[in-house]
Amino acid sequence: MPRWMPDARERLVGAAIQLFSEQGYDATTVSQIAERAGLTRSTFHRHFGDKRDVLAAGQDMLAGLLRDGAVRAPAGSTPLAAVESALLAAAGAMTPDMRERGSRMHAVIAASAELRERDQLKHVGLAAALAEALQERGIGPRVAEVAAEMGLLAFKNAYALWIEQPDAEDAPPLEDLVRDELDALRTALGDLD
């Protein structure tokens, strides 16, 4: 086995998702993931603490995209306009291979109570990052938290629609789905009173 190969982290994520899909999360070992990726266990542990961490591999990148998108929103943007800017920045970074992986990962997470709990913790971390970016724009904490949660709900709904598209060629772009979901939530907010 070569001592160094490029894209080890990405290969480990791909191997893990394949194995989780094929044989289930609980039945998959770190050794199997490393072997499928053509790497060693020690390489796996240089990138991830355990196999659960593989499923949160993109969380830091996503949090950074959300933060940067909110910060780059035009001056004077409403809280939801800043959130939309954040969501569109994140959506724009999603690649076609992420659609297929996302679908498989969603099924793996849905089948495990442990992973669903971890997914909720991921949501909390993303909401906190987005709310913090909104507060840096001068938005009060309570409004920032509500706007961030609403934005992440829109993103979650749009992402679920995006990964379920049977034909990626005909599917609407994730950015369009994000806008539609955010508009639907804005409408729903108006119906609350």
CATH number at residue 132: 1.10.357.10
Which CATH number fits the domain that encloses residue 26? 1.10.10.60
**Which residues form the domain of 65?**
59-190
Across 5-13, average pLDDT: 84
Whether 78 and 40 share a structural domain: no
139 in any annotated domain: yes
164 in any annotated domain: yes
Cα–Cα distance list, 180 to 7, 56, 128 (Å)? 35, 26, 23
How far does CA 168 lie from the centroid of its chain?
19
123 in any annotated domain: yes
pLDDT digits (tens, 9 = 90+) for 13-23: 999 999 999 99
Counting residues of the chain whose pLDDT is more than 70, the rounded percentage is 95
Whether 133 and 42 share a structural domain: no
2 in any annotated domain: no
pLDDT digits (tens, 9 = 90+) for 118-167: 889 889 999 999 999 999 999 999 999 999 999 999 999 999 999 988 66
Whether 27 and 96 share a structural domain: no
142 in any annotated domain: yes
Per the CB < 8 A criterion, the answer to whether 134 and 144 are in contact is: yes
The pTM of the full predicted model, rounded to 2 decimals, is: 0.85
CA dist., res. 77 & res. 151, Å (int): 15
Domain tally for the chain? 2
151 in any annotated domain: yes
Whether 77 and 108 share a structural domain: yes
Whether 48 and 127 share a structural domain: no
pLDDT digits (tens, 9 = 90+) for 102-117: 888 888 889 888 888 9
